Structure 1
Amino acid sequence: MPPPPAKWKGKCEFTGTACNNKLIGARNFGGASPPLDEEGHGTHTASTAAGNLVEGANEFGQANGTAAGVAPLAHLAIYKVCGDVGCAESDILAAMDTAIDDGVDVLSLSLGGGSVPFYADSIALGAFSAIQKGIFVSCSAGNEGPFYESLSNEAPWILTVGASTIDRTMVALAQLGNGQVYVGESVFQPKDFPVKQLPLVFAGANGNESSAWCAPGSLQNSDVQGTVVLCERGGGIDRLEKGQEVKDAGGAAMILMNDELNAYSTLADPHVLPATHVSYAAGLSIKAYINSTSSPTAAIVFKGTSIGKKSAPEVSAFSSRGPSLESPGILKPDIIGPGVNILAAWPISVENNTNTKSTFNMISGTSMSCPHLSGVAALLKSAHPEWSPAAIKSAILTTADILNLEGKPINIFAVGAGHVNPSKANDPGLVYDIQPDDYIPYLCGLNYTDQQVGSIVQRNVQCSNVSIIPEAELNYPSFSIILNSTTPQTYTRTVTNVGQAQSPYYPMIVAPPGVGVSVKPDGIMFTATNQTAKYSVTFTKIQNIDAEFAQGYLNWVSNEHTVRSPIVVIFE
């Protein structure tokens, strides 16, 4: 795997959701620009978290139905922190401080930077202030996947959200002259485009990389008039710009093939001409067909919106992966949520439709998955106002789905605990709670100085007077263990019963390959709601395996609940 990029820079709005019937107006912290959404990102994320119900939502007729945010009865407070030159840390912190003062219940931040120490991370600092007031903080994991160690927003008091697909696709087929058919996607599906075979050309057949990418101006001297043009994804060129170049050169349609890194992750875009976006493997097959005949042809066949894709949810290729660079003893990302081809509100009509105010757009990113989880947190906060931010996070993590619709698991450094299941999160059985002061022994264990820890918790701290703990000892609802020898490692956890008063729980272990896992005690009997109990887990390397890491699970099972904690072991 190549090394991760150095930095992911967000240029996004920032949203606070308030479930306490307090409606707060938009406020501007983004420099000289007015407190308006100039590019659509803030409108999209805000409506995803808490948009009201709107009938007939669609884009170019696709994904037609009733749209709603995850928590449509919540009120929104929107704070603009980004302008033409990006997102200043001072503006982000000012907005977070204001949101805290305004009394929001959930902060949703679809922006972030690269991995830095928590005392130097403006979002981590603002988030810690928020959790001290009982405010839940949800942030995007970043869009630098599939590289490992590419995360943003790693602090354990933040819910770090990766992006997954949903089971809805906007199907556009590439039908070749040899009878082969490849499934792709496009949200723009003109009804008047004829289904007939047209000459098929690869834009990069001349060996020019710029032409292969269909870069602006690269096809001006190419003979693509009336053809279907195969373009490669990449080159730092927007996908829609590639289609514009094909259209300007006289092409009739485009097949956009993924690069190797993006592999299977296709996107439904509002292309400027008939087009389909296919996988890397499909693109290679289409290239092979072009090279196998003197007169290759292709047709684009539009099939509209399809529901029920069995491989969903899949982690998107762009979703940033762990392990965390700053704190590898905490499993990140925490969770994945819908972040691919998400239809949500947009400030203008992408179809140039002047007859409606209900305008929508379909875009992708961990910016889109973050507000899904923010909305879930708002619902849980409303249903369980006594739960702390850590308890809400625990409920989300320990009830997550770990298999897709085909029953196949997904890489743990990509999904964390799994895919969010809001209904189950409302009744988790047990939670792993953490109070703000509980992070101090953990932060001292990161070898931060007294001043650095104090800057995070906003009071004087002397680590010499603190019972310092290793990272994996934090009462987190997951385990991230580094094993470099056969010496056993033991960690403790405290669980709180938020289910039925009389509840016996027993451990069921799915041990990571090459690792022995044992739990004491071998059962917990709760006799009251909100009762707590401690247990310990011992991890031992029992054999060498040909892998950098292994994953497993620790489940506490009762008659009513399965409380699942993911385990990842990193071998050194």
Structure 2
Amino acid sequence: MDLKFISTFLCFVLLHSSKTFGENFTNQSDLETYIVHLESPDQLFSNSKDLLLWHQSFLPTNSNHSSRILHSYRHVFNGFAAMLSSDEVREMEKKRGFLSARPQRIFQLHTTHTPSFLGLHQNVGLWNASNSDEVREMEKKRGFLSARPQRIFQLHTTHTPSFLGLHQNVGLWNASNSGKGVIIGLFDTGIDPQHPSFNDNGMPKPPLKWKGTYEFNVKTYCNKKLIGARNYVYPDRFPLDIDGHGTHTSSTAAGNFVDGANFFGNANGTAVGIAPRAHVAMAMEKGIFVSCSAGNSGPGSGTVENGAPWILTVGASTTDRKIRAVVVLGNGAEYEGESAYQPTNFSRKLLPLVNGKYCDLLHPVDVKGKIVLCDTNRESYREQIAKTVKSAGGAGAILMNNKEGGSTTLAVYDVFSMTQVTYKDGQEIINYMKSTPTPVANISYRGTEIGDKHAPTVAYFSSRGPCLQSKGILKPDIIGPGVNILAAWPTQIEDETTSTSTSTFNIISGTSMSCPHLAGDETLEPADILAVGAGHVNPSRANDPGLIYDIHPEDYIPYLCGLNCSEDQISMIVKKKVHCTTSISQSELNYPSFSIPKKTSAQTYTRTVTNVGEAISTYTVKVSGLKGVEVTVNPKILKFTELNQKASYNVSVKSLDLTGVGLSHIGSGRGWWSIYKCEGKPQPLS
């Protein structure tokens, strides 16, 4: 089903070049973008110019280096992006230091918009040249590590601070100075520097550690809040956001306080990000904590993206705020739906109710002046449904979820009298229509309400685990608010029912919206365990975890070796030459969760925790929720006498029943270490 979300590409990876190269020896039509990975150089380069010259030495001598090199990389990995032919890559392979070269790939934005609407299909078309002759030549050159094609990522997409227990001048915000001194970097579609969410009222000066830059033509655009912005797609253009996604996510993570924020009167209040005193830089340089969206391909198993264990993978959940558009039936029953469009002049009379099925073709059904029930079992776009019903003379529409959509309802601004109800409520409405020859209904618009007792629940679109590339690592790690999130918008949205009303805030949904909540929270914080990981983010509890699971960069090398990655592939990740002398299974990584295949024989794994809570403390273990599985933890008590002291424990797991082994039959439970009468954070077991 279509959810009417953003269709755009992440600006930092869209590397198509519009330059004309004018070279004599290579047909320009044979060139495409490659990401080239190199070994770390023998000598340290004093500046980026010297490094660029070394990168250019891998290019053909007959090429215009300045036009071929698109980007030179030195922090996350050593290498460059360049326009190359297959023959040139094969020559490059011979050079010392070469690791690999791969052509660009397409990734989808992690808003909940249907990918096909973007016209993007992975591994087809222009981006499908993975066997380039040019790359193979480049791989032969000394110093080469790898080359891979650029990738276009899908955008995954404020009442939430109070929903998460964050309040100004008290509690965690007060203790942490609201994120003061923290720099939050985002890769996205740009930013609107003039939006009030990025005002620098109350902000300190940027930290001395900040070495970045901004590339706006107006110097006042960057201030003590917005301290940097760059365009990695077109370096000669400004990083202004013409789409909205980047502005929305940036303000969610670190937007300053804006009183009276609302979307045409809905969700009214003070808009503020999770870390309002943190600085924003619209690109990630180096950082310790990386938060990525899990993707919007749910609810099927094995759909999670960004599953690497060194990043926090975030799923999407609801909040307790609803923008209500209630269905009232002729029998007096009411079913709560949602819509960001809240007309004040909609008729209060009960109108005839008809079933329009999928509402793609309404010719056989007379809908004039009636409420139309629409099913979403097909990939019908919400916007198209509204247009179809409206053009056929319908007075309004009830959009009911299919079974997969479940209980997730979206507050979308349709500019038409339409509400979305849950699958269960939709079935009740159908039963009512069958019970009477003259069914009637109405839509009652009741505005914003706080206090949904069912929240938080996992959004149906939020991608589920396990990660198919590494099933021993439980992903996603956690869920956060990602449904109907109000945040800054770069352009004024017009209320089409009036000529004067506009809004500089917008309500959208997606794991891109939950991801910045966790970036602002900077923490590792129940439905299906493969949907929620450790559960819903709880900033206050996460600020005092008691025990943590330390992992150092070198710990990932035996893990990657155990995944049967090639040494060259691992070298690309860790930025140094690697030889796989030791390896571990995925479940042996010191990760705060377990994902273990069902076996009748006992499987034992070790975890090491570090005490960052009370210096003198004793923790006892509890395990619950696992059926048909025998779990033994040894020791059951961990005692600490000082801060940063480490202790290890073993978990032995034995399946008592192997019935239903597979993605659709996954057992889950939770274990946690508790101190005194305070329970610690749950450690998922699956």
Identify whether the pair has TM-score above 0.5, normalized to the shorter chain. yes
- Equivalent-residue separation in structure 2 for 1:493 and 1:564 (angstroms): 15
8 Å Cα contact 2:354-2:371 kept in structure 1: yes
Where does residue 505 of structure 1 map in the other structure? 619
Amino acid at match of 1:62: N
Matches within 5 A, 1:203-352: 203-204=356-357, 212=358, 214-215=359-360, 218-219=361-362, 223-233=366-376, 235-352=378-495
- Equivalent-residue separation in structure 2 for 1:274 and 1:186 (angstroms): 9
Give a deviation string over 1:274-327, Cα, whole Å, max 9, x none: 221111222233233334433321111112211111111000111100011000
Closer/same/farther in 2, CA of residues 356 and 287 from structure 1, 3 Å limit: closer
Give a deviation string over 1:224-270, Cα, whole Å, max 9, x none: 22211112225433313321222222221111111221122111111
8 Å Cα contact 1:60-1:351 kept in structure 2: no
> SS at 1:348's partner residue?
strand
Where does residue 597 of structure 2 map in the other structure? 482
Moved more, 169-178 or 45-54: 169-178
Moved more, 237-246 or 335-344: 237-246
8 Å Cα contact 1:511-1:517 kept in structure 2: no
The number of equivalent residue pairs is 471
What is the Cα deviation at residue 534 of structure 1? 1.3
Closer/same/farther in 2, CA of residues 173 and 323 from structure 1, 3 Å limit: same
Amino acid at match of 2:603: Q
**Residue 450 (structure 1) aligned with residue 567 (structure 2):** yes
Closer/same/farther in 2, CA of residues 144 and 543 from structure 1, 3 Å limit: same
What is the Cα deviation at residue 365 of structure 1? 0.7
1:151 to 304, 310, 317: 304
- Equivalent-residue separation in structure 2 for 1:13 and 1:46 (angstroms): 13
Closer/same/farther in 2, CA of residues 509 and 221 from structure 1, 3 Å limit: closer
Q: Which runs of 5+ in 1 are unaligned?
A: 1-6, 80-98, 101-129, 205-211, 378-391, 398-408
- Equivalent-residue separation in structure 2 for 1:372 and 1:478 (angstroms): 22
Matches within 5 A, 1:372-387: 372-377=517-522
- Equivalent-residue separation in structure 2 for 1:517 and 1:274 (angstroms): 54
Closer/same/farther in 2, CA of residues 219 and 542 from structure 1, 3 Å limit: closer
8 Å Cα contact 2:156-2:513 kept in structure 1: no
1:415 to 532, 536, 541: 532
8 Å Cα contact 2:156-2:511 kept in structure 1: no
**Length-normalised TM-score, structure 2:** 0.65
2:253 to 46, 49, 66: 49
What is the Cα deviation at residue 426 of structure 1? 0.5
8 Å Cα contact 2:262-2:503 kept in structure 1: no
Where does residue 401 of structure 1 map in the other structure? none
Give a deviation string over 1:538-569, Cα, whole Å, max 9, x none: 11123455672211222111127533343433
8 Å Cα contact 1:479-1:565 kept in structure 2: no
Moved more, 316-325 or 231-240: 231-240
> SS at 1:549's partner residue?
coil
> SS at 2:490's partner residue?
coil
- Equivalent-residue separation in structure 2 for 1:439 and 1:285 (angstroms): 51
**Residue 16 (structure 1) aligned with residue 180 (structure 2):** no
Where does residue 360 of structure 1 map in the other structure? 505
**Residue 473 (structure 1) aligned with residue 588 (structure 2):** yes
- Equivalent-residue separation in structure 2 for 1:65 and 1:410 (angstroms): 30
- Equivalent-residue separation in structure 1 for 2:336 and 2:519 (angstroms): 33
8 Å Cα contact 2:156-2:512 kept in structure 1: no
> SS at 1:9's partner residue?
strand
Where does residue 265 of structure 2 map in the other structure? 61
Where does residue 402 of structure 1 map in the other structure? none
Give a deviation string over 1:203-240, Cα, whole Å, max 9, x none: 23xxxxxxx2x33xx34675322211112225433313
- Equivalent-residue separation in structure 2 for 1:557 and 1:568 (angstroms): 17
Closer/same/farther in 2, CA of residues 358 and 194 from structure 1, 3 Å limit: closer
- Equivalent-residue separation in structure 2 for 1:254 and 1:508 (angstroms): 50
Where does residue 554 of structure 2 map in the other structure? 437
**Length-normalised TM-score, structure 1:** 0.78
Where does residue 322 of structure 2 map in the other structure? 169
Amino acid at match of 2:185: G
8 Å Cα contact 2:254-2:276 kept in structure 1: yes
Closer/same/farther in 2, CA of residues 315 and 8 from structure 1, 3 Å limit: farther
Where does residue 553 of structure 1 map in the other structure? 670
8 Å Cα contact 1:551-1:566 kept in structure 2: no
**Residue 181 (structure 1) aligned with residue 350 (structure 2):** no
Give a deviation string over 1:385-436, Cα, whole Å, max 9, x none: xxxxxxx5xxx23xxxxxxxxxxx3110110000000001111111001111
8 Å Cα contact 1:507-1:556 kept in structure 2: yes
Task: Give the structure with higher Rg (CA).
Answer: 2
1:199 to 352, 372, 381: 352
What is the Cα deviation at residue 194 of structure 1? 2.3
8 Å Cα contact 2:321-2:451 kept in structure 1: yes
* Percent sequence identity over aligned pairs: 52
What is the Cα deviation at residue 531 of structure 1? 1.0
Amino acid at match of 2:233: G
- Equivalent-residue separation in structure 2 for 1:234 and 1:40 (angstroms): 29
Amino acid at match of 1:513: K
Closer/same/farther in 2, CA of residues 197 and 356 from structure 1, 3 Å limit: closer
Where does residue 639 of structure 2 map in the other structure? 525
8 Å Cα contact 1:169-1:306 kept in structure 2: yes
What is the Cα deviation at residue 358 of structure 1? 6.1
What is the Cα deviation at residue 13 of structure 1? 9.1
Where does residue 35 of structure 1 map in the other structure? 239
Amino acid at match of 1:554: G
Closer/same/farther in 2, CA of residues 312 and 479 from structure 1, 3 Å limit: same
Where does residue 459 of structure 1 map in the other structure? 576
Amino acid at match of 1:435: H
> SS at 1:469's partner residue?
coil
8 Å Cα contact 1:240-1:269 kept in structure 2: no
8 Å Cα contact 2:635-2:649 kept in structure 1: yes
Moved more, 176-185 or 279-288: 279-288
Where does residue 384 of structure 1 map in the other structure? none
- Equivalent-residue separation in structure 1 for 2:414 and 2:501 (angstroms): 21
What is the Cα deviation at residue 452 of structure 1? 1.6
Moved more, 504-513 or 309-318: 504-513
- Equivalent-residue separation in structure 1 for 2:490 and 2:500 (angstroms): 14
8 Å Cα contact 1:12-1:41 kept in structure 2: yes
Q: Which runs of 5+ in 2 are unaligned?
A: 1-105, 110-153, 158-183, 187-204, 211-225
Amino acid at match of 1:321: R
Where does residue 135 of structure 1 map in the other structure? 288
Closer/same/farther in 2, CA of residues 355 and 429 from structure 1, 3 Å limit: farther
What is the Cα deviation at residue 30 of structure 1? 3.2
Closer/same/farther in 2, CA of residues 355 and 189 from structure 1, 3 Å limit: closer
